[in-house]
Amino acid sequence: MVAAMASAAGVAQVGIGEAAWVAGAGVLSTVGLGSCVAVVIHDPVARAGGLVHFQLADATSDPGRARQQPFLFGDHGISALSQALASLGCVPVRCKVQVIGGASMMAQVSAAQIGKRNVLSARKTLWKLGYLIEREVVGGEVSRSVSLDVARGDVMIRESGGRS
């Protein structure tokens, strides 16, 4: 499922298992990143960017579901976002990439290390696709939200409790 640039303000809200991308102008935003991870990619030369919000590290656990919901999985979602951005003229070596989320929000979730596995999946997939990560805001025990202003290339990260 892909979030569309539908609002009058040019803001696309990206939910869990979704992605959005745009060239020119627009704001891509997602909220509630606990153990989920958002990957933000911006190419300042192509003036294009995208954001994926994934919940699970890789599709090997459920290949059928991955075909239905590729953006739910880090490996498939990041690859699909990369392909969409390439169609807008983005080139991995000049992209600014940020990885946000991957927290341990609850003791029972912490034991499964879902957040940590999601961050590792993002790193591995981005590396395989030729992207270098410029900034990571990951781990810990706080929820985060992130937005990308594509025209300016600005990324705003907010942590629960008001920190950014």
Catalytic positions, written as ranges: 36
37-43 and 11-13 beta bridge pairing = unpaired
131: its two tokens: 């992207």
CA distance 39 to 124: 12
Helices (H) and strands (E) in the chain, counts: 4, 9
Measured between alpha carbons, how far is residue 134 from residues 6, 7, 28, 42, 99 in Å? 29, 29, 18, 11, 9
Contacts of 24 (CB under 8 A, 6+ apart): 47, 48, 150, 151
User: How many angstroms separate the CA atoms of 158 and 52, rounded?
Assistant: 17
Tokens (6 digits) for 107: 């003791």
